[in-house]
Amino acid sequence: MIPIRDRNPSGTFPFITIGIIGVNVLIFLYELSLGSDLVVFLNQYGVVPIKVTHYFQSSDLTLTDTFFPFLSSTFLHGGFIHLIGNMWFLWIFGDNIEDRLGHFKYLIFYILCAAIASSVHVYFNNQSEIPCVGASGAISAVLGAYMVTFPRARVTTVVPIFFFIQIIELPAVVVIGFWILIQFFSGAVSLTTSASDGGGIAWWAHIGGFVSGIILFYIIRVLFVRKPKRRRYG
């Protein structure tokens, strides 16, 4: 299933969501200009699990080189499809979560969930030397928050049925629920491989981001988002 748009207009302009998309696009254009230096760039600013797990055992690793990528990696992408897919999901679902949390708290939510998602990836791929890049961990958090906040919101979705393509509206809980089931299944399968090197899709970053998004969204809502006061009449 591929979502096209949701029928859930937000009440505020999504400055942060658009800004994040813009930053990701600009950084990707910079990546394209690097040529053969791109590999070095991704290794420096992507999350490399073995660097994290061996930080205290190596005198060559600095605190900045090891842990700054937990932030920087979420703005890097490995190709056009990777970038477009992530930004498309963020564009569809991000504005409503930004509207609910407020601009600044939404940005904090996005960054924290990105770091948590990367941490979960490191935990399950602790010996991997492959840099993990992409905004999908943070966007998975947005999806988790969206699913529990707007489960009945209608999402226009492309659904392949055998050899036919159907465009139908489905509740968000179905679209996002189906997506996270795939992540859990794929993540579980990845654990059964005897020589997992952490390459390919970072399934556990998606799962970690999704779960942390639900939890952190509720924490921020309860602690920091003011509820409008009800007016009394009569």
User: How many whole angstroms separate alpha carbon 99 and alpha carbon 221?
Assistant: 12
Q: Give every CB contact of residue 114 below 8 A, 6+ residues apart in sequence.
A: 70, 71, 73, 74, 135, 137, 138, 141, 209
Q: What is the pLDDT of residue 63?
A: 77
Mean pLDDT of 101-107: 95
Longest Cα–Cα distance of the chain, Å, equals: 72
Mean pLDDT of 19-26: 97
Residue 234 placed within a domain: no
Decide if pLDDT at 189 tops 70: yes
- 3-state class of 226 per DSSP? coil
The answer to whether 208 touches 36, Cβ cutoff 8 Å, is no
The answer to whether 51 touches 122, Cβ cutoff 8 Å, is no
Residue 54 placed within a domain: yes
Residue 231 placed within a domain: no
User: How many whole angstroms separate alpha carbon 143 and alpha carbon 123?
Assistant: 22
Decide if pLDDT at 106 tops 60: yes
Residue 232 placed within a domain: no
Residue 219 placed within a domain: yes
Comparing CA positions, the residue from 128, 91, 123 lying closest to residue 14 is 91
Handedness of CA 53, 56, 62, 63 (dihedral sign): positive
Tokens of 69: 């990528």
pLDDT band at 233; cut points 50, 70, 90: very low
Decide if pLDDT at 191 tops 90: no
- 3-state class of 127 per DSSP? coil
Residue 230 placed within a domain: no
Which tens digits make up the pLDDT trace of 56-85?
777 677 777 788 999 999 999 999 999 999
Q: What is the pLDDT of residue 140?
A: 97
User: How many whole angstroms separate alpha carbon 94 and alpha carbon 86?
Assistant: 11
Q: What is the pLDDT of residue 195?
A: 46
Residue 189 placed within a domain: yes
Task: Tell me what percent of the residues of the chain surpass a pLDDT of 70.
Answer: 92
Q: What is the CA radius of gyration of the chain?
A: 19
Mean pLDDT lowest among 161-170, 182-191, 225-234: 225-234
Please tell me the total count of domains within the chain.
1
pLDDT band at 182; cut points 50, 70, 90: very high
* C-alpha distance from residue 146 to each of 117, 169, 170, 172, 180 (Å): 17, 16, 14, 8, 13
- CATH number for the domain spanning 46: value is 1.20.1540.10
Q: Which domain holds residue 187?
A: 2-224
